[in-house]
């Protein structure tokens, strides 16, 4: 692995910037790491282990100089579903398998393909996840007791309504104080992490005045260990790998997409350029290593990456520092984390959900009122009421159909067109009626989405038995095998009626395709021309 380019021109000044940025991001990552872990259905320590191990490795081996990795909000509904169905131990194994897949994605250069996911799909599932995270914290915000968590959005909302009678006013006060501090810090002291200040303020309040009266991390999950768990390699068997393949694929795809999106955000902020394939390899290495130390799946964290850049991060060293900072704090202050109220974590996640909701872009796409709006709404609703897989799959299918429809409309087929007014061309036009010659001009790509119009426009006309059919294809820059099959059909029908097909101006890609399929030789080399004025009366 080459680090050379990422540290070119590195000096003591940049190192100081990395130390400051790493310290700030490390402090930010602590409450977020614990909160995302709890929301995912595991203990808070799992989030800290992930920040430490995966955070350091993503920075060292990833494809972006500024990327900060760790547990993220996008993973919350996915991981909660996996924990509910498969258990925590199998989640770690699925995470390890996903890491292996990400390494392979990078090796086989699939990084750039992940950039092709349509924006409405990304906004739709991001907004859907934000709603799930926000709604999932209502119970902790209100201090409700006896609430059972489900994968279904409606069942979770029903649980909240059913248990409204157990609302704890002290938990609400704790949560509101934390939220006020977070909002005030963002407005008046933006350089200090609002999540940390809100957590400290609400925890201090609860410990001082409400001790034993609001649920805490300690009462819900026990004390957080002051060290990383012992290295343990997962017990992998063929049966277990097959069993966990579906969740592993989901983790790998979501982690890959979000990490590349985060790296693109960093590029926009710094005017830099990341290596997508190297980023996937780095993410894969981190996700293979994290479960060996009790960490859950990780990916690029957009908000923490932005915080890193805003605080002067100059190289991957800032990401390494952020992981080391969390490790040191874990070893020194872990016992005190048990006193943090769950109500103090709720406003942090709600604030994260609000920020990740992409509400402005969501509204802008809705205003367009076109196919993108439909893709957005369907992806969003299915992500919320179904799950991320259903939402993204449906969104991609709709986006694909809309794209094919739009592309097919860019292909135009004109019949008996006029050709350039040259002597030979004029003679050619004159003979179109006298000798049963038909000319068509085709503009735009020819692919499976346009075969219907190609057949309706040309194949039906072939039934009139013209002696010669001339296709002007100098404006066709792409053709697929579906369109090639239609051309084959046209050629065969003409030959059946003792007619012939002549093609003018064939571009390189369609020509290469016709050579590979053998249609070029089936039509006959003598029936292909560069220009219409290359066609002489003898050819007709």
The CA distance from 398 to 440, in Å, is 33
Q: What is the pLDDT of residue 1?
A: 44
CA 217 to chain centroid: 32
The CA distance from 233 to 93, in Å, is 9
φ/ψ bin of 8: left (φ > 0), alpha (ψ from -120 to 50), beta (otherwise)? beta
216: which strand partners? 341
The CA distance from 97 to 94, in Å, is 5
C-beta of residue 141 within 8 angstroms of C-beta of residue 172: yes
Per-residue confidence in pLDDT tens, the chain, 540 aa:
445 566 777 888 889 999 999 999 999 999 999 999 999 999 999 999 999 999 999 999 999 999 999 999 989 999 999 999 999 999 999 999 999 999 999 999 988 887 788 999 999 999 999 999 999 999 999 999 999 988 889 999 999 999 999 999 999 999 999 999 999 998 899 878 888 899 999 999 999 999 889 999 999 888 888 888 888 888 888 999 999 999 999 999 999 999 998 999 899 888 888 999 999 999 999 999 999 999 999 999 998 999 999 899 999 999 999 999 999 999 998 888 889 999 999 999 999 899 888 899 999 999 988 999 999 999 999 999 988 889 989 999 999 999 998 888 888 888 765 544 444 445 554 555 455 678 889 999 999 988 888 888 787 666 656 678 889 999 999 999 999 999 999 899 888 888 889 999 999 999 999 999 999 999 999 999 998 888 877 666
Q: 3-state class of 360 per DSSP?
A: helix
Burial of residue 102, with CB atoms counted within 10 A of its CB: 0-12 exposed, 13-18 middle, 19 or more buried: buried
Q: What is the pLDDT of residue 496?
A: 83
The CA distance from 491 to 190, in Å, is 70
The CA distance from 403 to 417, in Å, is 29
The CA distance from 37 to 295, in Å, is 10
The CA distance from 206 to 413, in Å, is 74
Q: Residue 441 belongs to what H/E stretch?
A: strand 437-443
The CA distance from 281 to 291, in Å, is 16
> The pTM is what?
0.82
Q: How many residues are listed for the chain in this entry? A: 540
The sheet with strand 500-504 has its strands ordered as: 412-415, 437-443, 468-475, 500-504, 528-529
The CA distance from 481 to 487, in Å, is 10
The CA distance from 429 to 281, in Å, is 60
Q: What is the pLDDT of residue 533?
A: 81
69: which strand partners? 300
| Maximum alpha-carbon separation in the chain | 102
The CA distance from 29 to 318, in Å, is 13
Domains, in order of start, for the chain: 37-400 (no CATH), 412-539 (3.30.750.24)
Q: Residue 427 belongs to what H/E stretch?
A: helix 423-434
């Amino acid at each position: 692995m080459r680090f050379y380019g990422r540290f070119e021109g590195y000096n003591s000044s940049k190192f100081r910037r990395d130390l400051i940025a790493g310290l700030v991001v490390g402090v930010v990552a602590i409450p977020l790491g614990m909160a995302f872990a709890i929301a995912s259905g595991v203990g808070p320590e799992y989030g800290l282990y992930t920040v430490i191990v995966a955070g350091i490795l993503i920075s060292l081996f990833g494809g972006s100089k500024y990327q900060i990795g760790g547990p993220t909000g996008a993973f919350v509904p996915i991981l909660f579903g996996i924990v509910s169905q498969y258990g925590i131990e199998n989640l770690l194994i699925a995470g390890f398998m996903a890491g292996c897949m990400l390494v392979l994605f990078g090796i086989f250069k699939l990084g750039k393909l992940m950039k092709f996911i349509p924006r409405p799909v990304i906004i739709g599932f991001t907004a859907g996840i934000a709603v799930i995270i926000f709604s999932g914290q209502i119970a902790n915000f209100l201090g409700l007791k006896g609430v059972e968590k489900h994968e279904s959005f409606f069942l979770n909302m029903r649980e909240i309504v059913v248990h409204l009678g157990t609302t704890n006013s002290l938990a609400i006060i704790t949560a509101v104080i934390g939220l006020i501090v977070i909002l005030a810090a963002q407005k008046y002291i933006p350089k200090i992490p609002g999540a940390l200040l809100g957590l400290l303020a609400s925890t201090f309040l609860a410990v001082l005045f409400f001790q034993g009266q609001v649920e805490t991390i300690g009462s819900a999950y026990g004390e957080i260990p002051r060290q990383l768990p012992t290295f343990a390699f997962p017990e992998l068997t063929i049966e277990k790998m097959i069993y966990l393949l579906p969740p592993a694929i989901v983790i790998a795809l979501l982690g890959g997409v979000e990490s590349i999106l985060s790296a693109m955000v960093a590029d926009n902020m710094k005017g830099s350029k990341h290596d997508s394939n190297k980023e996937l390899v780095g993410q894969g290495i981190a996700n293979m290593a994290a479960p060996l130390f009790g960490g859950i799946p990780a990916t690029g964290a957009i908000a923490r990456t932005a915080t890193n850049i805003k605080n002067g991060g100059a190289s991957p060293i800032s990401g390494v520092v952020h992981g080391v900072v969390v490790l040191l704090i874990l070893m020194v202050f872990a016992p005190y984390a048990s006193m943090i109220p769950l109500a103090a974590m709720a406003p942090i996640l709600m604030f994260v959900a609000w920020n990740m909701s992409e509400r402005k872009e969501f509204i802008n796409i809705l205003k367009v009122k076109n196919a993108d709006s439909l893709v957005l709404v369907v992806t969003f609703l299915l992500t919320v009421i179904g799950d991320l897989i259903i939402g993204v799959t449906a969104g991609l299918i709709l986006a694909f159909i809309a794209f094919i429809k739009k592309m097919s409309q860019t292909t135009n087929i004109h019949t008996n067109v006029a050709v350039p007014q040259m002597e030979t061309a004029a003679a050619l036009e004159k003979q179109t009626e006298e000798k049963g010659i038909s000319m068509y001009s085709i503009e735009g790509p020819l692919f499976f989405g346009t075969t219907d119009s190609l057949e309706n426009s040309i194949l039906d006309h072939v039934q009139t038995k013209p002696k010669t059919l001339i296709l002007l294809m100098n404006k066709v820059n792409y053709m697929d095998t579906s369109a090639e099959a239609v051309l084959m059909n046209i050629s065969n029908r003409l030959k059946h009626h003792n007619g012939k097909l002549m093609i003018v101006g064939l571009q390189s890609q369609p020509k290469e395709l016709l050579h590979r399929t053998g249609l070029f030789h089936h039509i006959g080399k003598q029936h292909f021309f560069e220009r219409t004025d290359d066609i002489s009366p003898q050819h007709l």
